[in-house]
Amino acid sequence: MLRKSIVGAAVFAGLLASTASAQDETNEAVLYSKGNFQGSSRTIHGPTKDLKIPFVVKSVKLPEGKAWDFCNGNTFTGCKTLNKSEPTIALSVRSARPGGMAVAKRGTVLPPGTLTEQSLRGVASEYFVAPVENGNRIAVPGGTPDAGSARADEFCRSRGWQGSAHQMVEMAKGQPVLADVLCVQTGA
């Protein structure tokens, strides 16, 4: 009887793992050139940037409960977040990424503007809303975009990534600090 229970538990665990894997694979955005999910389409499976030709989007299909940022800049700037499929919309997309609000722990969504030290890690990237080192926000000497880029690359390398694909410099308590850092393994 114990043997049957163990085998049953193993089969059940395998089913849960395959279901979770299938759910993760369905976090893709499908962009359409015409309204009502018609026309030519482009499927995006993860963070995508530097599209050589912007994709003019007239409708977007998203998985239930998933949010995506669609950006008119090549490096995740000028973004609009969508939380559901849209049968009629007008966007020019040059970069896109899974997006939405930061999740502190499974099932708990933080209000917009809330900072968290946690990150969102994928296979090929990791996103930090408000990166910290030794419990403090990461200062950007000079506060320039170039200094922010160099500091973000250094931060990402310290976390085991090749570099940063995107970062912002914001003012916090009168000091320029890093924000919205996307660390990547390739293409930094």
Structural domain includes residue 5: no
Structural domain includes residue 81: yes
Write the pLDDT tens digit of every residue in 115-128: 566 778 787 888 99
* Residues of the chain scoring pLDDT < 70: 1-26, 100-117, 187-188
Separation of alpha carbons 168 and 72, rounded Å: 16
| Domain's final residue, options 98, 124, 147 | 98
Number of structural domains the chain divides into: 2
Q: Which domain holds residue 134?
A: 103-184
What's the confidence (pLDDT) of residue 116? 61
What's the confidence (pLDDT) of residue 14? 43
Q: Based on the domain organization, do 80 and 119 belong to the same domain?
A: no
Q: Which of 175, 174, 182 is nearest to 155 (CA)?
A: 182
Query: What is the enclosing helix (H) or strand (E) of 149?
Result: helix 145-158
| Domain's final residue, options 79, 98, 117 | 98
Name residues whose C-beta falls within 8 Å of residue 76's C-beta, 6 or more positions apart in sequence: 47, 49, 69, 95, 97, 165, 166, 182
Structural domain includes residue 115: yes
Structural domain includes residue 13: no
What's the confidence (pLDDT) of residue 8? 40
Predicted model pTM: 0.45
Structural domain includes residue 20: no
Q: Based on the domain organization, do 157 and 173 belong to the same domain?
A: yes
Structural domain includes residue 34: yes
Angle at 42 between CA 37 and CA 45, to 5 degrees: 115
Q: Based on the domain organization, do 125 and 171 belong to the same domain?
A: yes
Here the CATH number for the domain that contains residue 52 is 2.60.20.10
174 C-beta neighbours (distance < 10 Å), count: 5
